[in-house]
Amino acid sequence: MKRISVLWMLILVLSILTGCGMSGSGNNDGLINMKISVSEDQIDSSENTKLTASFNEAVVSSESWFLFEIRRPDGPVWVRAKYEGNGVYAAETNELQKGDYELYGHLYAGGGYHFSKKYAPSNQPT
């Protein structure tokens, strides 16, 4: 009986670890359609760069919130986005440097769900 309990605990732990590891893969498997866009022409200017993420409005609720994660060589920067309506979250930042970052979007939906996606510039393959 003890072996069966240990086996079930091992399966549970592996399932949890596997599920958590998949959230950062950038692939939402069609569950939601997350589109991230960046005002590329503003990146090297002194102006703030506008970041937007859009979804099917059905996945957004009053419990949802969104963060942009900017991964740079000196460490990540997190930018909280505001909900603008119609499934769109937006933020402005001066933390982007052309070619020197990776951008991820993270939607935290009601019920503890987390979806993430890596931004791919329009001139690069996704």
Mean pLDDT of 73-84: 93
**10 vs 92: which has the higher pLDDT:** 92
Helix, strand or coil, per DSSP, at residue 40:
helix
Domain 27-118, CATH number (from 1.10.287.130, 2.60.40.10, 3.40.50.150, 3.90.230.10): 2.60.40.10
Closest CA to 89 of 60, 125, 123: 60
CA 25 – CA 37 distance, rounded (Å)? 18
* pTM, 2 dp: 0.69
Domain boundaries along the sequence of the chain: 27-118
11-34: average pLDDT? 55
Q: Rounded CA gap, 45 and 43, in Å?
A: 6
